[in-house]
Amino acid sequence: MKRIKTYILFTYLAIQLAVPGYAVSNTRDAAESVWTLKKPSYSIQILKKGFRYSILKPDNSPLLQAHASSGLLLLNSAIADARLVSQDAGSAEFSVTNDIGVRATVRFTLSDNYFKMSVRYADAKPISGSIVARTKGLAPAFGLADNAGFREPYDAELTGFLDKEFGAKSVQARESRLVSNFVVFPKQGLACINLEPDRKIVKVDKDELVQGSFNRSEMPAMYYFIGSVKQIYADYLRVRNQEGYKVYLPKYAWFGVGWEAWGALVWNTNYQTVTQDVDHYLAEGFPLSWMVVGSGFWPSNEPKHFTTTSFGAWDPVKYPDPKGFIDYFHKKNLKFIIGLRIAFIPNGLYTDEGLKKGYFLKKDGQAYLFKVGFPKTDCYFLDADNPEAVRWYDDLCKKWEAAGVDGFKEDLYGYETRDFKDDKLDPVNAALMNRGVYVMGRNGYVGSPMDLHRYNDFNIPENQDRGPVNGLAFAYSGFPYVYPDVIGGTGLTNKKYATQQDRVRKYLMRESQYAAVNPSMSFGYGPWNLKDKQVLDVCRSAAQLHDRLHPYIYSAAVKTHLTGFPYTMTPLPLAYPSDTTTYYRENERVRGYQWMLGEALLAVPLYGDDYAKSTSRDIYLPAGKWIDYDNGKVYAGNSMLKDFDIPVDKTPLFVGGTGFVVEKVAGKLMARVYPVGFQGSTAFYDEDGKTTSSISIQMKGSKTPVIRDTKTGRKIKSQYTRFAYEFELIPGHNYSIN
């Protein structure tokens, strides 16, 4: 009989091991049973006791170790028992019971380089309570978008982060509205996220890595990603699109230089003040691509028309001819954007219709009035989970577009956050993006139904280290189309700054240079107001640099859309994950705010709360050959440039990586090939986001390269200018450079 039992046991194990991608092994002590789910690139090991799971590398060394006591918490109670229910080639299902007898079903679904864990309560009577997945911690860690950007002391590295009700926040000026609980560990090659638009639980520490759903009946989509950082972001992109958080291709114009009325004029907007200020910028040589009039365009003397939801109603005195007004800027090749919110004031122009049709968020069956930062009165909010409500709202937006409006600056803020999901605006923005409308986003969850990811208002009174940390946190989190808000912020017209001219002049110059090497930038307060030639020259030069790089930056944005990797702003720990020197520098202590802008430019702006007094930074150059963008001086990588001088008029860029940059010069696209020793291929995407040029580079030494248009077979002439070999690039043509 003992032999028969042994035979049956080995037969059972052989059957399990024969299932592709899946294996089960048991020790003699049933309480210490171990289940192993295998893929070629990783395996998941689950201990029955406490349902403690770990992730192993192909050589069985640990990638992510199991939690010390329990891998799951249900209603804050650890798992006491677990059993395997079923399995197939790519999944396994378990039944688990916690210390107080509550049961849940746990399902693992395995893909090549990532897996999904789903947890739902199994009792007949519905249960709502927190569900938490946890392992041992890892470091360094990055991500968490706005929630990381507002954490003090300011630091992009997340160790020590804890939030038991993670999500959008609206506390005084700390508006965490672009929300992501994606956490990446580039050093180890791991990332995770619990895809949950409601309240979440997040802890990132050396002892524990925790993701959970707060007071929910299930946690349907807990993901772990394994592999190189590029593989991780490619899979994260795939998962977001599969799970309904579509990532959109952004539009070209947004990545140029913009202008915002809020920074220039605050509330004092009308067709005269706007025209005068924009024309002044253009006359001074600022190459604007887009403009925003966020406020004050609605009929100001009619309460029911007040705010952005007056759809199509313009103030007859301030804007007597909206179509002609907007057409004036269209003829100057500017995209015209206005403010937009989903907040409807009581007795507003379209509020009664929305109430009648049930299009607003409800509590206890009744439309509910929310407190909001603007308007000052309580407002009804559009129910974006109602497709009919979204269609209605989208149709109303067309009333603005009828006058020529190209898009919207979405800016709902100061709202109550409880019972208000993080994706509250995503369906609205998605509807607009689906029609090709220009969208500057400020609220959203993990997806990208917007063209730009905007900082919360970034003004002179606050700690300036928040900005760079916030932007890098966006990039880590999959919000890489970073727009660092209007240069100068708001309030510089206030008389109190008249006695702080030196501070203001340095602020404008340093912030201009910082914004110039972000994916997008804009101006508000006119630098000419300081009557200081250097300020005007530096701000204009920064704008012209960004405009010159506009095609290059947008090409990086297209690559980001296609791959998920944040090419528009690549933090160095992502660009060089095996280089440990890149870690622990993006904080207010070191102020090592550096990133790759595209595949060839290293941004090194001098920015932070010391902007008014510092003139140098410690600059780290990763492996490779690097060329100073301004003077052509060559530096070897894997080196720290101590106290590197960065005066206010210095371009904060080095060239390395692929060494291939495309600039806009006199209406032409000029490809620039820097001799940095790159051998390989890259691609350039034109402003339609589709037309592609493939470039093969096999340069050896510093000799003049032979450049050939492989589409025509012709040899292309180049000239050596500004430390690079330059030739005109024709979109859609391919080139070899030898």
**Is residue 39 very low, low, confident or very high in pLDDT (cuts 50, 70, 90)?**
very high
- pTM for the complete prediction? 0.95
- 594 pLDDT above the threshold of 60: yes
* Mean pLDDT, range 115-141, rounded to an integer: 92
**Is residue 9 very low, low, confident or very high in pLDDT (cuts 50, 70, 90)?**
very low
Distance CA 515, CA 542 (A): 8
**Is residue 20 very low, low, confident or very high in pLDDT (cuts 50, 70, 90)?**
very low
Query: Got the DSSP string for 546-607?
Result: HHHTHHHHHHHHHHHHHH-S-TTSEEHHHHSTT-GGGTT-SBTTT----EEETTTEEE----
- 1 pLDDT above the threshold of 50: no
* Mean pLDDT, range 50-64, rounded to an integer: 97
**Tell me, what's the pLDDT at 421?**
93
**Tell me, what's the pLDDT at 173?**
56
**Is residue 24 very low, low, confident or very high in pLDDT (cuts 50, 70, 90)?**
very low
* Mean pLDDT, range 147-169, rounded to an integer: 95
* Mean pLDDT, range 144-149, rounded to an integer: 96
**Is residue 552 very low, low, confident or very high in pLDDT (cuts 50, 70, 90)?**
very high
Distance CA 126, CA 531 (A): 68
**Tell me, what's the pLDDT at 17?**
29
DSSP character at residue 116? E
**Tell me, what's the pLDDT at 493?**
79
**Is residue 172 very low, low, confident or very high in pLDDT (cuts 50, 70, 90)?**
low
CB 448 within 8 A of CB 347: no
Multiple choice CATH, 20-242, 3.40.50, 2.70.98, 1.10.10, 1.10.1760: 2.70.98
Q: Rounded to 10 degrees, what is the CA torsion of 446, 449, 453, 459?
A: -110
* Mean pLDDT, range 615-635, rounded to an integer: 98
pLDDT digits (tens, 9 = 90+) for 278-299: 999 999 999 999 999 999 999 9
Q: Which long-range contacts (CB under 8 A, 24 or more apart) does 10-14 make?
A: none
**Is residue 498 very low, low, confident or very high in pLDDT (cuts 50, 70, 90)?**
confident
Domain boundaries, the chain: 20-242, 252-342+388-566, 660-737
Both tokens of residue 126?
């519905």
pLDDT digits (tens, 9 = 90+) for 451-469: 999 999 999 999 999 999 9
**Tell me, what's the pLDDT at 701?**
72
Over the range 708-736, which residues count as b (16 or more CB within 10 Å of their CB) and which as e?
bbeeeeeebebeeeebbbbbebbbebbbb
- Residue that is written with structure tokens 């990797």 in the block: 565
Both tokens of residue 249?
């291709």
More confident site: 350 or 20: 350
CB 394 within 8 A of CB 311: no
pLDDT digits (tens, 9 = 90+) for 374-419: 888 999 999 999 999 999 999 999 999 999 999 999 999 998 877 7
**Tell me, what's the pLDDT at 16?**
32
Element (H, E) at 85: strand 77-88
Edge-to-edge strand ranges of the sheet holding 34-39: 22-25, 34-39, 42-47, 52-56, 62-64
- 661 pLDDT above the threshold of 50: yes
- 26 pLDDT above the threshold of 80: no
Distance CA 554, CA 688 (A): 10
**Tell me, what's the pLDDT at 30?**
46
**Tell me, what's the pLDDT at 499?**
82
**Tell me, what's the pLDDT at 732?**
98
**Backbone φ and ψ of 514, nearest 5°:** -65, -50
**Is residue 29 very low, low, confident or very high in pLDDT (cuts 50, 70, 90)?**
very low
**Backbone φ and ψ of 541, nearest 5°:** -60, -40
**Is residue 239 very low, low, confident or very high in pLDDT (cuts 50, 70, 90)?**
very high
Strands 178-179 and 444-445: parallel
**Tell me, what's the pLDDT at 11?**
28
Look over the chain and give the mean of its residue pLDDT values, rounded to a whole number. Answer: 93
High-pLDDT (> 90) share of the chain, %: 87
pLDDT digits (tens, 9 = 90+) for 529-538: 999 999 999 9
* Mean pLDDT, range 237-246, rounded to an integer: 97
The type of residue at 154 is Y
Task: Select from 535, 495, 483, 525 the least CA-distant residue to 648.
Answer: 535
Both tokens of residue 378?
């309580």
Distance CA 51, CA 98 (A): 10
* Mean pLDDT, range 209-226, rounded to an integer: 96
Strand partners, 618: none
Task: Select from 320, 331, 104 the least CA-distant residue to 219.
Answer: 104
Both tokens of residue 728?
């005109």
* Mean pLDDT, range 625-640, rounded to an integer: 98
* Mean pLDDT, range 475-485, rounded to an integer: 97
Distance CA 718, CA 706 (A): 9
**Is residue 5 very low, low, confident or very high in pLDDT (cuts 50, 70, 90)?**
very low
More confident site: 30 or 353: 353
**Tell me, what's the pLDDT at 15?**
27
CATH C-level class of 252-342+388-566:
alpha beta
